[in-house]
Structure 1
Amino acid sequence: MKKPNIAFLNKCISFQFIKEGFSDDEKWCVDHTYLLRLSPHGDVNKLIKQAEIVNTIHALDKHIPYVHDIGIVDGRAYMILDYIGGENGEVALPVKSEKEQYDIGSQVGKTLKRLHSVQAPAEQPNWEETWRDRVERQAPRFKEIVNKNVHYECILPFIQDNLHLLKNRPSCVQHYDFHPGNILVEDNRFTGLIDMQKITYADPINEFYKMEYFNVPISREYSKGVLNGYHDHQPIPLSFWELHRLYAAIHIVSAEVWGHEVAVNQREKFQRYTRFTLDQFEDFNLLVPKWYNK
């Protein structure tokens, strides 16, 4: 690339384009030391808010990259973070032994626990009301999908019967896009949690809403390690599974609506993951999904 007019990078020499990832950001590895993210928008204030949260959690866990600089270049907002080496988990995990996968997951779970130790500011919107509104907005569109997929009929009634579980839930820092493609692995070590653009405040248990969709299909042992490491290898409370099951159901609604209305090319994949999730919970009649007990 043409060297960008960014003072922080004036002395840097090497700029390597990074093709991986699904975000709209353009990403460059700079001198194998920094990661330059160029956003498609010029909203620098949005990046400043992200950086404040990211650097707060970096102080607690060095698996989180530090944000060094933010600004505007050529009309685009940019962020410069630590470059963390390693292979993304989608590629790295399947070739590891089951024990190695589990150990890496355990390391990741401990990082998520530290991330979740940072509480949200008091002025955050009411969590229960936010999610009730979200379900109400998406339910009519999802019902149209259910009409063509009778196996989905159990989902909305289950959600409605369990929304009361969201009452008085805590809110903390959350990555909000947790899946193996957003972790880095080098040798048999977890080296970093990346792609923090969606970082926000939310119920900590909501962090795991993509487990059955995107984590377990890559590695069940890794996924077990994540949850066990998160719970310090102590028995996982039933209250966790009650909420996880609810968030998994709500995610199905969001993913199916997205797959039918926006990401049409992903629809079949999402339907496959939906069927997998329903099977793991036996249409939400099981509290603990089958994959965890295998």
Structure 2
Amino acid sequence: MREIPLYSTFKKIESINKGMSGDKKYYIETVDKKHLLLRISDFSEYDQKKIEYDLIKKLINFDVNMPFPIDFGVCNEGKSVYTLLSWIEGEEVETILSTLTEKEQYKLGIESGKNLRKIHSLPAPQGIDDWSIRYFSVIDERLEAFRSEGIPFDGDKIILDYIETNKPLLENRPQCYHHGDYHMGNMILSKDGELFVIDWHTVDFNNYGDPWYEFNRLGTEFPAFASGQIDGYFNYNPPEEFWKLLAYYLSVSAITSIVWSKYFAPDRMNSILKLNKDILYWFDDMKNTVPIWYKSEFEM
């Protein structure tokens, strides 16, 4: 850590023991009263961490509310890579939503949708394969894993039939850069009431693809917030095609999570099976692609 150029300005260093990433994280206060976030990763992750840092530098220019990039480099005698960002002081949206009224939840959802739209204004690299090719090169294997070793449930065939029948929806989709893990657990409400997006370290499809794919982590347990995020993203007018793809991405994510849970998180299996049953309920056995939890009466 002492090799970090700004280390001499560090007055306070506190370890942060939160989150699922393998990074070591620290809260930093400097002698000139700046508050920073330091992430230290194994050097084997250098290329990916550099991509993340460069992405943050690009998106700052698109007026996205997010931590400001301060510095990036190698430390610990070449064994580690560090990323230094501004610290966002505030509360995690995930922890405070239950204390807010539905109108307040909806308002925050609006801001999250606007932020996501700004993120998606950065186009994906040129010359990449069609989104359907990239998506199904990963997802087909996961769907086959469910068919062969997943835990069956009432309605699984309905979901699988919807996924198979609607594959053409993913052809010729526009592609852009993604946050990678866009959900309320990665959002901070600042002391000034602004909504910030944090934790850009998740890599999913190389962090670019269909912009609407990022709604697969929508916080449906808070319908007002989820409705607001959709309305904020689409300026209160989501197109019909969006609903079909939302149903698609949510159902694929849910049903393919069953085998993942079986091997890596068996304690979450009941909640994932419930999610699949909820999807059947929300979309009326996949016959109505506008979910029943979506409401527009929160509009302010």
The superposition leaves residues 168-203 of structure 1 with CA deviations (integer Å, 9 ceiling, x where unpaired) of: 101101112111110011358243101101261111
Query: Is the CA contact 1:106–1:227 (under 8 Å) kept in the aligned structure 2?
Result: yes
Note if 1:130 corresponds to 2:134.
Answer: yes
Distance 1:23 1:275 in 2: 29
Q: CA deviation at 1:62?
A: 4.4
Counting only pairs closer than 5 Å after superposition, residues 217-236 of structure 1 correspond to structure 2 as 217=221, 219-233=222-236, 235-236=237-238
Equivalent residue runs for 1:37-56 within 5 Å = 37-56=39-58
Q: Structure 1 30/258 Cα, relative in aligned 2: closer, same or farther at 3 Å? A: same
In structure 1, the partner of 2:188 is: 184
Give me the identity figure in percent.
26
Pairing of 1:156-195 with structure 2 (within 5 A) = 156-186=160-190, 189-195=193-199
Specify the SS of the correspondent of 1:153: helix
SS for the counterpart of 2:294 is helix
Q: 1:147/1:91 Cα in 2 relative to 1: closer, same or farther (>3 Å)?
A: closer
Matched ranges for 1:1-294 at <5 A: 4-31=2-29, 33-74=35-76, 75-144=79-148, 148-186=152-190, 189-198=193-202, 200-211=207-218, 215-217=219-221, 219-233=222-236, 235-293=237-295
- Residue identity matched to 1:198: T
> What is the alpha-carbon distance in structure 1 between the residues aligned to residue 265 and residue 194 of structure 2?
30
**Do the aligned residues in 2 keep the contact of 1:260 with 1:267 (CA within 8 Å)?**
yes
SS at match of 2:44: coil
CA contact (8 A) 1:155 1:249 kept: yes
How many Å separate the matches in 1 of 2:51 and 2:240?
35
Alignment-mate amino acid for residue 119 of structure 1: P
CA distance in 2, matches of 1:78, 1:290: 44
Note closer, same or farther for the CA distance 1:62–1:179 as it changes in structure 2 (3 Å cut): closer
The answer to whether the 8 A contact 1:128-1:167 is kept is yes
Change beyond 3 A, Cα 1:70–1:268: same
Give the aligned CA root-mean-square deviation in angstroms: 1.9
Alpha-carbon spacing, 1:45–1:142, altered in 2? closer, same or farther (3 Å): same
* Distance in 2 (alpha carbons) for counterparts of 1:21 and 1:146: 28
> Aligned to 1:79, what secondary structure does the other structure show?
strand
Deviation of 1:256 after TM superposition, in Å, equals: 1.6
Distance 1:77 1:125 in 2: 31
Query: Structure 1 residues 68 and 147, CA, compared in 2 at 3 Å: closer, same or farther?
Result: closer
What amino acid is the match of 1:182? N
Deviation string, structure 1 residues 222-249 (Cα, Å, up to 9, x no partner): 111111111112x211011111111112
Query: 1:55 is matched by which residue type in structure 2?
Result: K
Give the gaps of 5 or more residues in structure 2.
none
Specify every segment of 5 or more residues in structure 1 that has no aligned partner in the other structure, as ranges: none
